[in-house]
Structure 1
Amino acid sequence: MAPNLITLLGLFFVVANLFVVFYYDPYLNSTQPSWCYFFYAFGLFMYQTFDGCDGCHARRTGQSGPLGELFDHSIDAINTTLGSIVFGSVMKMGYGGLLMLSQFASVCNFYTSTWEEYHTHKLFLSKFSGPVEGILMICTVYIITGIFGPDIWDVELFTLNLTSLGYGTYEVNSSLIYVVLGLGSLYFNIISAMRNVAKHYEAKDGEESKRSKHEIGEAYKGLYPFFIYYGVVITFCWFYPPVISEYGLPLILSIGCTIAFSVGRIILAHLTLQEFPFVQAPMFIPIAQLILSKILIDIYKYSPAKVLNAISWVGFGVTLGIHGIFVAEIITEITQYLDIYALSIKHKRA
C-alpha cells in the first residue's frame, strides 16, 4: 500500500465522523446518541494513527519524497477544519462565534507551524505536541462525553449584563473557557514559532548583524496575510451576523479551504525553494463577498437572507474549486516529473 493512500484513508475516518455529525446534529447544538461520541473518538484516533504511520511506511518502502510531505500536510490542513466542526458538535457550540474561535485556534496553529518550517526547514514539535497529546486529549473528551453526556461541558458560570452598552445580557458557560484557554495556548505557540525563526536567522548571519534583522523582519511579514484575511472575515460577520449564525457551514468550510490552499502554497514554496507566497487568491473572497453584499442588500434592496445564503455558498464553491485545481495540478506535475504514482507504488521494470 502506498504511503499517500494511508494518509488519505486516515482522512476518511474524520469524514465519516463528519457525516455522523451532519445526520444527528446538523446545527451543532443537539445531544446525540452515546455511541456517536465513541465513534468520534475512534475516528480521530485512527486518523492520528494513520497520520503517524504513513511516514514510517514511506521510509521503509523507499517512497519518501516531496509529494508525500505535501500530501500529508495538505490532509492535515483539511482535518483542522473538519475536526473543529466535530468538536463544535460535541461541545454543542452551534454555528457562531465560539465555533469560529475554535477553528481559528486550529488553523492559526497549523499556518504558523508551516510558516515556521518554511524559514527554519525544521518542523518543531514541543514536548506537549498538538498532533499527539492534543489529539489524545480530544479523544478522551469524546469518550467522557459518551459516558456522561455532552451537558457536562455546558455549565453556566455567570451572566454578563451589557444592557447599559446596548448589547443585552449574555450567559457565559464553560465552553467559552475552553476556547479562551485554547487561544491562550495559541499565543505561546505563535511566540515560540517567531522565536525559532529569529534564532534560525541569527545563527546563520550573526545575532547583531543588519542582515539577520532584515531577514527576521521580512520573515515576520509572512504572518500578515493570515491575520489580515481573518480580519476581513470578522468584518464581514460584523456587518452581516447571519453569515455565521445562520449560514455558518459554508463560511467555516470556505475558511478551511482557504487556509488549506495557503498552507499548500507555503509547503510547495518550501520544497521548491521559491519566495514566500504572500498573495493567496482565495483570501480575497471575503472582501468580494462583503462588497457584493453591500451592493445587493443596501443599494438594490434584495432580501438579505437570500443574498447572504447565495454569497456564502458561492464563496465556498470558489475556494473549493481553487484548492481542488491546485491539488490536482501539483499532484499531476510532481508524479509526472518524478515518474511515480500518487496512490500506489510504481515498481521499476527489471
Structure 2
Amino acid sequence: METHYISRQGLDALRNYKYKGGEYSFLDLQMNGFWLWCAELLPMSMAPNLVTLVGTGHLLLVVMLAQIFDPQLLGESPWWVYAINAWCLFVYQTMDAVDGKQARRTGTSSPLGQLFDHGCDSMGTTFIAVSLVSVLGFGASTNAIIIIATVQIPFYLCQWEENHVHVLRAQVGNFGVTEGQFLSMGLNLSAAVFGSVFWQQTVAELVNTVSGLDLPGLGGLEDAELRTIAVYVGGFFPFLLAMSNVIAVFKSNVNFARALILTIPLWLQQGIQVALHVLSPGKELFETHPVPFIVIMGMLHSHLSNRIIVASVCHIEIPLLQKIIMPIPFIIGLLVHENSHTNAASKMADKNTLATVLIVYGAFVVFQYFHFVLSVINSICLLLDINCLTIKDKKKT
C-alpha cells in the first residue's frame, strides 16, 4: 500500500505515532475552560476532522469576502465585513482548539487528526494574512509580503523543529498562536468600529484627533503610520518564535548543518514571493490579483509544510527535492532576465510568455497541493480503516 508520498516503512511507523504538543501559552490557559465547554456542546457523532474543516471554512469565507469587497486589499470593505472577519477568526480559533478535545471525547484520536489539523492550519495562516493585509489596506506592497512572511516562516519552522526535537512548540514565553489570533481579531474589530482608515493615519494625526494637541517631534516617529507600526510590532514575537525554533534545533542532538539544508524549500518559496513582488510580469499579476496571488503562494507554503508534518508523523526523511519547488530557480532566473532587457519589443514578447509561464506554474501548484492532500488522506484512511470526515460505526467493521 506504499504511496507516492509515504513509503511502506512510513505507513508502518504511522500506526505507532504518538503526538506530543508543547506547553500552553497564557491565553491558552485562560481559554481552555471555554474550549472544554464548547467541546461538550458538539454531538458525539461529529468527527474531529469535520470540526477542523468547519473552522477552516470560516477562514475561507474571510478570503472570499476580501475578493468580493476589497479585491485590491486596500481596506475598502464595508464595516460589517471586518466584523464578520473577527467572528470567523474566533470560530476558527475555537474549532482549532476543540477538535482535539472532540477526538478524545469520541475515542477517535489518530495520526490523521494531527495531519488534518496542522494541514488546515498551514493554509489558514495565509488566509489570516489576507484579512490582515485588507484591514491595514496595504494592497500589493512590500508590507503585504512582510505580513505573509511573518505568518508563514514561523509556522514552517515550528514543524521543522518538531521533526528534529519531536515536540511541537508554537509559542515563545507566554506569547503564542492564540495571542496572535486575538490580535488579528482586534485589528478587524477596530476596522469595523473606526474604519480601516484608522490604521492609515499617522501617530501625530491620532494624537491630534484624540487630544487636539500637536505632537512634538519624536525623531520622525510622529509621521509613521499606525499600520506600519502594527506590522513591525506584530511581527516581533513571530520573529522571536522563528529564532527560538532555530536555536532549539541547534541545541538538540542533530546534524545542524543538515537540518538547515532542509529549510531550503521554505526559502525558495519565500524567494519566489519576493521575486514576483518586485519583478515584472509577476509584479503586475500581484498588483492586479493580490488575493489569488497570496492564496496560491499559500498553497505552495502549505504543501511544503505538510511534507514536513507527514515526515514527522511517519518517521521518514523530509524530501529536499520536490516537484513543486523545482521550477522556482528557473522562474526566478527568467524574471531577472526579463527585467534586464532593454529592447522594448523583445521585452514585451518575453513578458507575455513569462506571464503564461507564471499562470501555468500557479495551476501546477494548485494541482500538486490537492493531489498531495487527497492522496495522503486516502492512504491513511485505508491503512487505519477510518473515515476522514465521519466516525465509522465500529459495529459494522
Q: For this structure pair, what is the TM-score category when the shorter chain's length is used for normalisation?
A: 0.7 to 0.9
Alignment-derived partner of residue 289 in structure 1: 331
Alignment-derived partner of residue 142 in structure 2: 97
Q: Secondary structure at the residue paired with 2:91?
A: helix
Alpha carbons of 1:305 and 1:292: their partners in 2 closer, same or farther (altered >3 Å)? Answer: closer
Q: Which moved more, 1:171-180 or 1:98-107?
A: 171-180
Following TM superposition, by how much is the alpha carbon of 1:324 offset from its aligned partner in structure 2, in angstroms?
0.4
Alpha carbons of 1:247 and 1:149: their partners in 2 closer, same or farther (altered >3 Å)? Answer: closer
Q: 2:258 aligns with which of 207, 218, 221?
A: 218
Alignment-derived partner of residue 356 in structure 2: 310
Alignment-derived partner of residue 330 in structure 1: 376
Q: Which moved more, 1:292-301 or 1:306-315?
A: 292-301
Q: Distance in 2 between matches of 1:3 and 1:308?
A: 43
1:266 is the counterpart of 2:308 = yes
Q: Secondary structure at the residue paired with 1:283?
A: coil
Q: 1:2 aligns with which of 47, 57, 64?
A: 47
Q: 1:67 aligns with which of 99, 112, 119?
A: 112
Alignment-derived partner of residue 162 in structure 1: none
Q: Could you tell me which amino acid in structure 2 is paired with residue 31 of structure 1?
A: E
Determine if contact 2:83/2:189 at 8 Å carries over to the other structure: yes
Determine if contact 2:72/2:289 at 8 Å carries over to the other structure: no
Deviation digits for residues 32-62 of structure 1 (CA, Å, limit 9, x no counterpart) = 2221111100000000001110001111111
Q: Distance in 1 between matches of 2:202 and 2:327?
A: 37
1:252 is the counterpart of 2:294 = yes
Q: Distance in 1 between matches of 2:310 and 2:287?
A: 35
Q: Distance in 2 between matches of 1:247 and 1:64?
A: 40
Q: Distance in 1 between matches of 2:125 and 2:228?
A: 19
Bigger RCO (CA 8 Å, 6+ sep): 2
Q: Distance in 2 between matches of 1:249 and 1:312?
A: 16
Q: Secondary structure at the residue paired with 1:344?
A: coil
Following TM superposition, by how much is the alpha carbon of 1:97 offset from its aligned partner in structure 2, in angstroms?
1.5
Following TM superposition, by how much is the alpha carbon of 1:316 offset from its aligned partner in structure 2, in angstroms?
1.9
Q: 1:178 aligns with which of 209, 230, 252?
A: 230
Q: Could you tell me which amino acid in structure 1 is paired with residue 267 of structure 2?
A: F
Q: Distance in 2 between matches of 1:236 and 1:31?
A: 24
1:151 is the counterpart of 2:197 = yes
Q: Secondary structure at the residue paired with 2:326?
A: helix
Q: 1:34 aligns with which of 74, 79, 82?
A: 79
Q: Which moved more, 1:2-11 or 1:245-254?
A: 245-254
CA-atom RMSD, angstroms? 2.4
Q: Distance in 2 between matches of 1:142 and 1:149?
A: 9
Determine if contact 1:289/1:315 at 8 Å carries over to the other structure: no
How many residue pairs get matched? Answer: 326
Determine if contact 1:153/1:175 at 8 Å carries over to the other structure: yes
Q: Which moved more, 1:326-335 or 1:312-321?
A: 312-321
Alignment of 1:8-47 (within 5 A): 8-47=53-92
Following TM superposition, by how much is the alpha carbon of 1:282 offset from its aligned partner in structure 2, in angstroms?
1.9
Structure 2: tracts of 5 or more residues without a match? 1-45, 205-222
Q: Distance in 2 between matches of 1:135 and 1:186?
A: 12
1:194 is the counterpart of 2:239 = no
